[in-house]
Each structure stands twice: as C-alpha cells, then as structure tokens.
Amino acid sequence: MFQKMIDKSMAKSPWIFHVNAGSCNGCDIELVSVLTPRYDAERLGFRLTGTPRQADIVVVSGPITSQTRDRLVRTLAQVPEPKVVVSLGSCPRSGNVFKGSYCVDGPLEKYTHVDVSVGGCTPKPEAIVAALAKAAEILAEKRKEMRQA
Amino acid sequence: MYDFMYHFPVLAIMVLFLGAFIASLVGRRNAVIRNAVVLIAMVTSLVLILSLVKPILLEGQTITYWLSNWEPVGDWAIGISLEVDALSLFFALIVVVAVFVSGVYSFFYMDRDDSLVNYYTLFSMLSGSVLGLVLSGDLFNMFVMIEIMTFTAVALTAFRNTYEGALEGAFKYLVVGSLGSTSVLIGIALIYSQMHTLNLAQLAAMLPGYDSPVTIIAFAFLFVGFGSKAFLFPFHPLAADAHAVAPASISLMISGVLTKCGVYGIIRLAYTVYQNVDVNVMNALKSVCNPMNANFVQYFITGVGVVTMFICVTMAFNQHNFKRLLAFHSISQVGYVITVIGLGSALGLSAGLFHAMNHTIFKGLLFLTAGAVQHATGSLDLDELGGLSKKMPGTCALFLIGAASISGLPPFNGFASKWMIYQAAFQKAGETGNFFFVVVCVAALITSVLTLASFIKVAQSVFFGQLNPKFAKTREVSLGMRIPMWILAILCVVTGLFPDKVQQWLLAPATSAAMNAAGYIDAAMGQGYAASFSIPSFQPQSIFLSGAWQPVMWLLLLVSVTLAVCIVALLGSDDKAPAISETNTDTPADPKYESFFSGEASVYSQVGGSDLFWGFKHNWRHYFSFMHNWHSGVVNDYTLYGAAAIAVALVLCVIFL
Amino acid sequence: MIPYLTKALGNLFRAPATEKFPKGEPPKAAPGYRGRIIYHPETCVNCGMCMRVCAPQCMERTIEPLPNGDQKITLTFDMTSCTFCSMCADFCARKSIELSDDYMIVGTQPEDFLVSGTFIKKAPPPKMTPEQIAELKAKAEAAKAAKAAAEKANG
Amino acid sequence: MTNLLWTMFHVLVFPGVLFCVVIGVLLAGLDRKLVARMQNRVGPPLLQPWYDFLKCCGKETIIPRHARRSLFLAAPVLGFAALITVALFVPVLSCSTYSTSADLVVILYLLTVVGVSMIVGAAASGSPFAGVGLSREMVAMISYELPFVLVILAVGRMAGATTPLGVTFSLQAIVDWQAANGSMLFHWSMIPAALAMLFVIPCEIGMHPFDIAEAETEICEGTLAEYSGPPAGLFRLTHCVKMYIMCALFCAMFLGGISTGYAALDALVVVVLSVVITFVTMSVPHAVCARFKVEQVFKFYWTVVAGLALISLILVWLGL
C-alpha cells in the first residue's frame, strides 16, 4: 500500500533542478516564468530545488560548452534515481546557432539519455509546462520500472 | 563507629604527596614502576575518599582531624586541622575522580614526551595539594595548598616547553597567579591580625559578629584571591593562555579541579566563614549578628559571575585554537557556578554545586577529546582541521556527548544543572522582585545558546566537513586514551538522566553543609560553641522547583517515538532504493558520491573555524574589536587588570559593607 | 510593505490569474508568433536560399536521383536546431516556408522535432542537335517573314 | 496494561505521531495554498507536503563520500522524534498529556534539540554548502532565542505572580492561571510579548522571510544540500510538524485556559487557532516579504522583537 502511495505521488511532486550549460539565459528566464502566477507550475507540485540531491527532473538549457561539460556530467551523476532529464530549448540537442563552435561540446545525448525535449528558441512557458508534465509521467513510470526490476 | 575512617582524609592527601616523592626517586630508572606508583597513589586516594561517602554524605557526619592531635585548648584552635563536611567531600570527590581520569589518560597521552618523571611528580603534587585545599580546616593551610597548586600548575603548563607560547603562557600564569596568591595572603594576614586564629570553624564563629573594616577588607582580598584561582573576570585571559599550551590532561586539571578550588574557596568564605550571603532562613537574625550588607555581597558575586560567563562565551566565539576555545568556555561555565552561588538560595547553591560537578565532567571530557585530536593529528587549529569524524569516530562520539552536555541539551547533565540555574535565578527574581535577577536569568539563557553555537563551530571545524588532505593518515587514538573519556561520558549521561538521585545523594547534603555554619563550627570546636557566638542553628531549606523535568520519562518517550518512526520506516521500506554509499574506493572517484559543489570537481573545501556565524559577528563587530584590543596578551596589562580588580573590590566592599 | 500587504490580502478574494493550460487546449500564441515551420514542398524550387541564410544550419537537404532522371528532393527542418528567426521564410522567393503559431514543440523522440517535405524535381528535357536548332531557327525566321509580309500587305 | 496502551495511544495517535503529522501536513499545505492565492496563483493541492514526503521516500538515498554515515542517517530520525516528544509535552488548551512533567525551559531546549539535530545532520554531510547553512541556522537560532527567552520569562512572571515563588515555568501552571484569569492575550501588558512570539514562530520554523539557512537560491538548500531520499523527506516533514507545534505552543502560552470540556473539541479549537496563526505569521510574510539577509535577521530579532518582549516583561514586572 505504502509503495502504491509512493508510486502515485511520484508524478505529483516532481522537483526540478536546473542546469545552465552555457545558455544565453533566454530559456532560464522562461523556466522561471513557469513558476509565475500566470503559469504557476507549483499547482502541479513542481518546485525548483537548489541541489541535485533532491531533484527528480533535471532541466538542461544551453549548448553544453566545454567549460560546463564536466560540471554538467558531475551534476547529472549526483541526482538520485529515478530521474528524468529534460532538454530545454534548441541548444542542448543541437547547439543551435552555436553549432560547430570550438567551445561547444554538445549535444546532450552524448552524456545522458534525454527523456523529454522542448524545442523553441526560447520555448513558450506553456510548452515548458507541457514538457514538465510529460516528464513527471515518465518519472512515475521509471519508478514503477525500478520497483519491478 | 567509623573510628578508622577518621584518618582517611589525611591519608588520601598524604598518599598523593608520597606518590610524588617515590615517583621522583624511582621514576628515573624505570617507567613501569613510576607509573605503578602514581597509579597506586591515585587509586588509593580515590578509594579512601569514596569510602567516606557513606558516613559523610549519606549520614551527615563531619570528620575533624587534628594533625599531631593538637586539639583546641581553651577554645583556641591553633593546631592544623582537616575538617571534612559534605561540602568538602563533594569537592574532594570531584577532585579524586578528575585526578584518576587525568592520570590514566596521561599514561597513554604523554607517551611521546620525555622527562616524564618530572611530569608525574608534579602531577601527584598538584593532585595532593588540591585535595588538601578542599579538605583543609585551616585558612593558612588553604593558602599553602594554593601555592603548591599554583606553582605545580605553572610548571606543568610549561611542561611541553617546545610549544610556541608554552613558556609565555606559564609566565603569565605565574605572574598574575602570584598576584592572586598574594591577595589571599594579605587577606589571611589581615584576618589573623584581628582574630588571632586561622581555623575556619573558629573564624566562622567569631567573624560574623565582629564589626571591623579590617575584616571587610580581608574579605575583598580573599574574594579576589580565590576568584583569581577560579579565573573569574578579569583573570580569565590567563586561563586561555595556559590551557592552549598545557598538555590536555593538565588542562583537565586546571579547568576541572583548580577552578573548583576557587569556587570552593568562595563558597566557604561567603557561606561558612563570613556568612554574608543572605540564606533566607536567617533573615531575621541577620541584623543582629551580621553587620555586612548581605544584598551587596549577593549582587557582587552574582554580577562577577554574569560578567565572567558572558564575556568569556563571546571571547570563545573568536578563537581559532581548539583548547583556547575550551578554556574560555571553561571560565564561562565557572561564571554560571559563581552566578548562582551568589543567589544565596538553597536551590541556587545546589544548582551551582551540580554545575560545578558537571563542569568538571563535561569539560574534562572535552579537553581529553581535544588532547586526543592533538595526539592524533598534532594540530589544534580550527581553521586547519576538519572531517576527523571519519578517522576518529569514537572520539567524535565522545566529543558530541561533551558538547551536548556543555551546551545544555537534554538529556545530558549540562541541561539538568542549567535548568536548575535558570530556575534559581528566576525564583530569586520572583521572590525579591528585583529586575537584576531577571537579567541574570536572560544572560544565562543567552550564554547557553552562544555556548551551543561555539560547540557547533568546533564540531563543524574539527570533526565534520571535509578532511584536510594533510591529515589523511590520522588514526584513532588508543583504547587507553578512550577509556577515561568514556568514563566521563558515561558520567555525563548518568548524572543527566538521574538528577533527582544526584540531588538526593550529593547535592542536598553538600548544600546543607555549606549553609550549616553552626554545624561546621560545632564539629570542630565542640557542641555549643556556635551558640555562644549567637550563630543561628541550621534549619534545612526545602527546594521548590517552578518547573518540571523528568529526563528518564522524556528519554523513554523519545526512544518509543524513534522506535515507532523506525518501525513505520521499516514497514514501508523499499529495498530497491536503499541508502547507498560508495563501495569501491580504489577506482577513480565516482562523481555520484562527491559533495555537490555546483558541479565543480571535488576539491578540499572546508567551511569551518572563523568562517562561521558571520551574521552574528558582523553585528557585534565593534564589541569584538574592543574585546580583541582589551585582551592584549601583554602580561603587564593582565597584572594591571588584576590589581584593578583588587582595588575595585576593596572600594566596593568598603563603601557598601 | 503596506501596499504589498493590501494587494496580497486583496488577491485572496480575487480569481487567480493562472491559465488552465495543462487541462484543456493550450492558449493561442500572440499574433506574429514564430513557431513550428510549415514547409510547402509543392511550391519549392529548391533554390537553396533558405539554407544559405539559416544561422543554426537547421536544414538538411537530401537529393535522391530517380531512374527516370528526375530528382527526389527532401528538405528537413530540425525544430530543435531552429532559432525561429524567420530568415528562411523571408528569403524564400516562392513563399514555400512559413512559420506557424504552433509553439508546442515537445517530444521524447528526435523524430518529433523534424519537419520535412519532399518533392520531385523534373529532369530537364534532353539537349537539341544542331539540325533541330537550325530547323527551329528557320521556322522562326519564316514566321518573322510572314509577319513582315502581312504588315506590308496591310500597310 | 491499560496504562501502557494509553501511552502507546499518546505516542502514536494523539497528540503523537499521527495527529502531529496530519495537522502539520495540512497546515503546511494550507500555508502553501494561501501564499499562492495571495500571489494570485492557484497553488498546489492541500496535501502537497504529503506527496512531497512520499515522493522522497521513493527516491534513492545517496551518502556522499565526505559524510559520516551513521549521523547522517540518524539526525533526521532523531530530530523528528524529539519534535514529536515536544508535542506530547505541549498542552492542547486544557487537555494535557505529559505537560505536568515539563516546563517552558524544557520545551525551549527540546526545540533546540530539533534544530541541533538538523545542524548535526548538515555537518555530518560534509558539504561546504551545508557548512554555510548550519552557520546561518545557528545565527537564526541565536537571533530568535533572546526574544523567545524574554517572552517565556514574561509569561512565567505573569502566571506565577500570585504563587509563593512569584514566578513559574510550569506549562500546566500557566494554563491553569489562564483558565482562572482569562487568556494571556487579553491582558494588555502581554500583547507586546504575544507579538514578539508571533515573530519568533516563523524564524523558529525557518519559514520564508527567515529561511536563511535553507536559501535554495543562494546556498543550494544550505543545511539540506546533501540530503536525498527518505531522510530529506523526513526533514521536510519535521518542518511541517514544527509549524503545528509552534502554533500549539503559542495557543498554550497566550490562548490557554479556554476549555470546551471535550478533549476532541479542544483539539479542534487548537487546530483552528493554528490555522489562523499560520496565516498571520507565516503565509502573509511569505507572500509579502523577500528573504532577509543573515545580519538583518539578527538585528531585527535582537532589536525590534526583543524590544517588544522586553516591554512586556517590564510591564509585567511592574505589576501591570
């Protein structure tokens, strides 16, 4: 019973940790705006945490510059299982306008499995909310898989 | 019935001095014999004093021993006497237990030093002199013992004279300590010039009714002298300098035992000899037999205590040296004791005695853990140490017990005694309606929080956080060093859990004895002697508590709640997501187990020492910078403060008494 | 602080400003919003201008020759690479690229982000021989002459 | 036997674990909802803290390399248990379980134990952020302790003025005095103390404008920086339960003596009062204020709040 309750609440309380991997700050601002009254992601249980140790969803924005690469990998490793990785905006998947730069080590897939991506430069907050909601569903599924494994 | 026990006090003292003598004779050849001699001496005195518990503490007898059988003739007590009532025995118990623990610890702690024969000789002499002081029935003998105590302590402080500042610390202690001793001597001389006797019992009978400015001045001198032995404000900087460089076992002695001698002296002086503390029952008789202004003495003693405890705790905030920090706390706790002793109520006195006892236990424990850290790492610098809990888990646990005790966290003994202290101060305020005692109570409570903060700082700087790579090869100290610490830690818990038993068996008899001046006089000088000087007979005071605290019940509840939480956790436990820690330490570090540092690679980054409590220090920066300048470290200044203290005490006493 | 306080307390009795979005339809984007690209391959002439102006190089063109000499041209726009600058649409002479107001570019697979279109480019007719050219020229001149004759006759 | 059963009932159900957790979670959920509404948002569901806790239980617990494993895991359990024991000692209006065997100073220190367990847990985690966090937590503790102590003394004097000792610390005596003389809050000289206590509550709990120790944007959750999984959840739950306990303590100190005669009804009244106190002391400042700086918290508590408490103490001392 306890386990089922945990399974159910998994999708209801996903906490977000945001990694800026060299982003231009556009996506970061939009991610914060998701918590503003108009979009209010908190009503779905989302909360921005300050530490990866308590995060369920890691949101990565930016094209993974060579300066941030190691820090990103380390931070991703420090998130406890089950976790979901969301790539925010066009940059993490492709590099966007920074593609081919000497200091860009993208895409994000090279370092981790990306569960949900949001396209856009920058995505609209509604799109981010939709992506996070999807990520929460995936989180609950991962928890079930982890328990059955 | 206890005829043979009549000799026990003097034997307990002599055996220690004899131990010192024999150790110095044989010790140069054979370390084992030397240690055996010291151990035998310590154990013998421990057993002798413990065997006195039953007749004195439980049955309320008083043993008076006249050396060479020079009993008083014609009501003049000229001979040297030992007078052991419950108060003396209470302090003697503290002394022998501390000496035993410190001695056993020394055998393992001092293993890297040479010329140990000097150490053990001085150590035994120090022990003997302190025991002699608390058991003595004669003011001049007290002075002699104080002198032996001070000089052996000075020598032991400088024992590790290769340490930076060791000689300096010892020199300061010597100079300013001599000032205190001189003050005692002047007081004794003044009293002798007036009363023609120095026997405590006889003085206790004669002094209260004797209206003379000379005895009042003598009181000021004696108070400052004993205060300097307890390192009260403004003598506290000495303790810091001495403790920081002394071996840990000697720090235990200085903070746990020597300061208690000062406390004992002040209690004897104010309660038994001068009886100038307002012990409520005697209110009516006060105007008849005591010319001194009892209220003033109370305010004076309490005021000194409050200032001491508050200044020392704030000074401890800024220390970088583990033992220096402990030294300031040591004086701060003695400040608590002096504060409540000044209240003059039965509850206050028992709280003070309880705290004095607890202070020896927990501060001894803390000094020994500091010694263990020093022994294992060779450093005491709070800015440098860190993360030792992984290397020295036993010492860390012991330190946490000691820290919780001194910060007054339930259910340890520090809480039990501090709780009594708050009640005593607040009740005094309630009874007298005087706001001063409310301030005392608030200061005591705030000091307690600041103490907690200091010890959080030590815990974080020494035992938690990240291990300095410099100390990667640190090993846990030997069992021989941990056992004495465990003894003290267990005492911390036991006295904290059963304060009512401690109250019943130790504190109540000692409190009664301290307040029972008539009984003390009669035991030495014969029945009826006190009455002939119209010293009122003792009426036991009952203690009312204005609150309630049952540690055992709380602990049971805590354990049951913890169990309940654990059971719920186990029932709902999820073996798929267990608590995981790194298993393989050989392969390159797995970043999963690194501390989160915004994704940075794991580097040594310890937040500790002077980095902590910024918000507090920032607001108090002017006070701290003033205090920093005031504690100049110059021996001339400290001597000046000491002289000023004597002058102020004299002026105040002359004006108000 | 007082104005904040009154505002906060007032808000308690006001309907919240929050969108209903995750339940129900996503709200419409503002006019002029540049969202997911719509590509009309039927009008595309494969001029390649869009690829030249695209800063993040989000288009990929594959040219596949067909046996009859035609070319199958596939143009793929990667929405996770696009900056939605609308440069391609502006430069497209045939207006075969436009940016819609669909901002919901969310998916779990890379394919979810691809917009592609395919068209077949007819092979040009085969080259003419000199005789044919001469014949055509003669035809043209004959027509010219006939025209001139007709004008003369009318004039 | 029945005695043991009653003890078990007290520990597990009322006013122990179950009651505290349920009310604490509801209060915390309500607080979040109210803050959201005041910020013109919809806000999370009422049971959100409970979901958060359950979610944490389903996560992995990582023990970092620099952590001291045993203390790291024991600290949250110990803190939670110590907090529940406080609940057993705080009288719920006139209905008290063990409040005769504890007093205000004991409660003050038991609450300190809760804070210290969090500090020790943070220290044991070995993280530099936790180091900064515990330093701030301690400064916050020093800050609110002075006004708290002054309030306790004022209440103790007020309730004990008629007793032979002139003062009292006993919670039971305070509640009895209020039953006889009306609640503390309705004596005008106690109003500044009540105000001071209302300021102490959010700082003691670490609610938003005073959450300097867990500032997630500055120092990465501070004391909780390395906690993951069930221990982190337990810390959050402790936080929720503390909200209820501080409210109940305020009720006992300032609104005690009101009795309906039925224990269940009394508990309900306390819950309702707790909701009001939560709204006034936690939700409104949370919605209106930005986070204080460390030194500002200290200054604020040692000047304004301590001043309020001191006014009350002096008034009470003058017999007003």
Has residue B480 got a pLDDT over 70? yes
In whole angstroms, give the CA distance from residue B372 to residue B378.
9
Percentages (nearest 5) of helix, strand, coil residues in chain D: 75, 0, 20
Cα C20 to Cα A44, C16, C24: the distances in Å are 11, 10, 7
Give the one of A43, A90, A127 whose C-beta lies nearest to C80's C-beta: A90
Report residue C100 as tokens.
Answer: 């819609």
Report residue B74 as tokens.
Answer: 């014609």
Mean pLDDT of B348-365: 90
Alpha helices in B55-138 (DSSP H): 86-109, 116-135
Residue D255: domain span: 2-317
pLDDT band at residue C114 using 50, 70 and 90 as cut-offs: confident
- Residue D126 and residue D49 in contact, taking contact as beta carbons nearer than 8 Å: no
Q: What is the mean pLDDT of chain B?
A: 83
Q: Which residues of chain A have pLDDT under 50?
A: none
**Which among B234, B302, B329, B238 is positioned nearest to B634, based on CA atoms?**
B238
Residue A106: domain span: 2-148
- Residue B117 and residue B28 in contact, taking contact as beta carbons nearer than 8 Å: yes
- Residue D249 and residue D274 in contact, taking contact as beta carbons nearer than 8 Å: no
B 219-258 residues inside an 8 A Cβ radius of D = none
Q: Is residue B56 part of a domain?
A: yes
How does DSSP classify residue A79?
A: S
Q: Are strands B81-84 and B579-581 parallel, antiparallel or unpaired?
A: unpaired
Q: What is the CA radius of gyration of chain C?
A: 29
Yes or no, beta carbons of A99 and C81 under 8 Å apart: yes
Yes or no, beta carbons of A52 and B596 under 8 Å apart: yes
Has residue D96 got a pLDDT over 70? no
Contacts of D177 in chain B (CB under 8 A): none
Residue D304 contacts C where some CB pair is shorter than 8 Å: no
**Count of A–C CB contacts within 8 Å?**
96
Instruction: Flag whether B touches C (3+ CB pairs, 8 A cutoff).
Output: no
State the chains in contact with B (3 or more Cβ–Cβ pairs under 8 Å): A, D
Angle at B187 between CA B181 and CA B188, to 5 degrees: 90
The count of domains in chain A is 1
pLDDT at B186 (0 to 100): 92
**Which among B192, B399, B89 is positioned nearest to D124, based on CA atoms?**
B399
Mean pLDDT of B274-283: 56
Global model pTM greater than 0.90: no
Residue A45 contacts D where some CB pair is shorter than 8 Å: yes
Yes or no, beta carbons of D45 and A43 under 8 Å apart: yes
In whole angstroms, give the CA distance from residue B226 to residue B105.
28
pLDDT band at residue C63 using 50, 70 and 90 as cut-offs: confident
Nearest CA in chain A to B590: A77
Amino acid (1-letter code) at residue B573: S
pLDDT at B588 (0 to 100): 60
Q: Which residue has the tokens 């003495």?
A: B297
Q: Is residue B418 part of a domain?
A: yes
- Residue C56 and residue A94 in contact, taking contact as beta carbons nearer than 8 Å: yes
Mean pLDDT of B608-635: 83
CB atoms closer than 10 angstroms to residue D290: 8
Has residue D320 got a pLDDT over 80? no
Task: Give the 3-state secondary structure of residue A57.
Answer: strand
Contacts of D41 in chain A (CB under 8 A): 37, 40, 42-43
- Residue B226 and residue B99 in contact, taking contact as beta carbons nearer than 8 Å: no
Give the one of C8, C17, C18 whose C-beta lies nearest to D287's C-beta: C8
State the chains in contact with A (3 or more Cβ–Cβ pairs under 8 Å): B, C, D
**Which among B306, B304, B236 is positioned nearest to B270, based on CA atoms?**
B304
Residue A42 contacts C where some CB pair is shorter than 8 Å: no
- Residue A51 and residue D224 in contact, taking contact as beta carbons nearer than 8 Å: yes
Contacts of C1 in chain D (CB under 8 A): 288-289
Q: Is residue B559 part of a domain?
A: no
pLDDT at B280 (0 to 100): 45
Contacts of C106 in chain A (CB under 8 A): 116-119, 127, 130-131, 134
C 32-61 residues inside an 8 A Cβ radius of A = 35-36, 55-58
The count of domains in chain B is 1
Tell me which of C6, C9, C12, C19 to substitute to probe the interface with D (most D C-beta atoms closer than 10 Å): C12
pLDDT 10s digits, B509-555: 888 888 888 888 888 887 777 777 777 777 777 777 766 777 777 77
Yes or no, beta carbons of A78 and B601 under 8 Å apart: no
State the chains in contact with C (3 or more Cβ–Cβ pairs under 8 Å): A, D
Mean pLDDT of B225-241: 86
The count of domains in chain D is 1
Written in H, E and C, the secondary structure of B308-346 is HHHHHHHHHHCCCEHHHHHHHHHHHHHHHHHHHHCCCCH
pLDDT 10s digits, A64-73: 888 888 888 8
Nearest CA in chain A to C24: A130
Residue A78 contacts D where some CB pair is shorter than 8 Å: yes
Yes or no, beta carbons of D284 and C8 under 8 Å apart: yes
Contacts of D45 in chain A (CB under 8 A): 12, 43, 45
pLDDT band at residue B185 using 50, 70 and 90 as cut-offs: very high
Residue C87 contacts A where some CB pair is shorter than 8 Å: no
pLDDT at B586 (0 to 100): 56
Residue C100 contacts A where some CB pair is shorter than 8 Å: no
**Which among B217, B343, B227, B350 is positioned nearest to B279, based on CA atoms?**
B343
Tell me which of C20, C34, C81 to substitute to probe the interface with A (most A C-beta atoms closer than 10 Å): C81
In whole angstroms, give the CA distance from residue B91 to residue D297.
44
Tell me which of B596, B600, B602, B603 to substitute to probe the interface with A (most A C-beta atoms closer than 10 Å): B596
In whole angstroms, give the CA distance from residue A83 to residue A138.
9
Mean pLDDT of D18-40: 87
Cα C15 to Cα D33, D37, D42, D253, D263: the distances in Å are 14, 9, 9, 37, 38
Has residue D306 got a pLDDT over 80? yes
Collect all residues with Cβ–Cβ distance below 8 Å to B478 and sequence separation of at least 6: B108
pLDDT band at residue B579 using 50, 70 and 90 as cut-offs: low
CB hemisphere CA count around B33 (13 angstroms): 10
In whole angstroms, give the CA distance from residue C97 to residue C36.
11
Collect all residues with Cβ–Cβ distance below 8 Å to B361 and sequence separation of at least 6: B256, B405, B413, B488, B491, B492, B495
List b or e across C124-155, with b for residues whose CB sees 16 or more CB atoms inside 10 angstroms: eeeeeeeeeeeeeeeeeeeeeeeeeeeeeeee
In whole angstroms, give the CA distance from residue B398 to residue B485.
7
In whole angstroms, give the CA distance from residue B266 to residue B184.
12
Contacts of C22 in chain D (CB under 8 A): none
Mean pLDDT of B438-442: 88
Has residue D294 got a pLDDT over 50? yes
Separation in Å, CA of A129 to nearest CA in chain C: 7
Yes or no, beta carbons of A119 and C55 under 8 Å apart: no
pLDDT 10s digits, D176-212: 888 888 788 888 888 888 889 888 988 888 888 888 7
Report residue D243 as tokens.
Answer: 């909200």
In whole angstroms, give the CA distance from residue B230 to residue B265.
9
CB hemisphere CA count around B125 (13 angstroms): 24
Separation in Å, CA of D269 to nearest CA in chain B: 25
Give the one of D54, D59, D62 whose C-beta lies nearest to A5's C-beta: D54
Separation in Å, CA of C84 to nearest CA in chain A: 7
- Residue D258 and residue D183 in contact, taking contact as beta carbons nearer than 8 Å: yes
- Residue B85 and residue B27 in contact, taking contact as beta carbons nearer than 8 Å: no
User: Which conformational region is residue D75 in: left (phi greater than 0), alpha (psi within -120 to 50 degrees), or beta?
Assistant: alpha
Mean pLDDT of D141-166: 85
pLDDT band at residue B580 using 50, 70 and 90 as cut-offs: low
Mean pLDDT of B574-599: 64
Q: How many Å from the N-terminal Cα to the C-terminal Cα in chain B?
A: 44
Yes or no, beta carbons of B599 and A147 under 8 Å apart: no
pLDDT band at residue B285 using 50, 70 and 90 as cut-offs: very low
Q: What is the mean pLDDT of chain A?
A: 86
CB hemisphere CA count around A43 (13 angstroms): 23
Residue A49 contacts D where some CB pair is shorter than 8 Å: yes
In whole angstroms, give the CA distance from residue B88 to residue B142.
12
ipTM of the assembly? 0.83
Yes or no, beta carbons of D221 and A51 under 8 Å apart: yes
> In this structure, which CATH number among 3.30.70.3270, 3.40.30.10, 3.40.50.850, 1.10.510.10 belongs to the domain C26-148?
3.30.70.3270
Amino acid (1-letter code) at residue A81: E
pLDDT at B284 (0 to 100): 38
pLDDT band at residue C154 using 50, 70 and 90 as cut-offs: confident
Contacts of C16 in chain D (CB under 8 A): 36-37, 40-43
Q: Is residue B86 part of a domain?
A: yes
Residue C8 contacts D where some CB pair is shorter than 8 Å: yes
Collect all residues with Cβ–Cβ distance below 8 Å to B447 and sequence separation of at least 6: B309, B310, B313, B332, B335, B336
pLDDT at B43 (0 to 100): 92
Q: What is the mean pLDDT of chain C?
A: 84
Residue D41 contacts C where some CB pair is shorter than 8 Å: yes
Tell me which of D40, D42, D283 to substitute to probe the interface with C (most C C-beta atoms closer than 10 Å): D40
pLDDT at B7 (0 to 100): 83
- Residue B369 and residue B323 in contact, taking contact as beta carbons nearer than 8 Å: no
pLDDT at C102 (0 to 100): 83
Percentages (nearest 5) of helix, strand, coil residues in chain B: 70, 5, 25
pLDDT band at residue C44 using 50, 70 and 90 as cut-offs: confident
Nearest CA in chain C to A138: C108
Yes or no, beta carbons of C19 and A115 under 8 Å apart: no
Has residue B283 got a pLDDT over 50? no
pLDDT at C140 (0 to 100): 92
Contacts of C112 in chain A (CB under 8 A): 117
Please report the DSSP string for C16-62 in residue order. -----TTSSPPPPPPTT---SEEE-TTT-----HHHHH-SS--EEEE
Tell me which of D32, D42, D276 to substitute to probe the interface with C (most C C-beta atoms closer than 10 Å): D42
Residue A77 contacts B where some CB pair is shorter than 8 Å: yes
In whole angstroms, give the CA distance from residue B130 to residue B20.
14
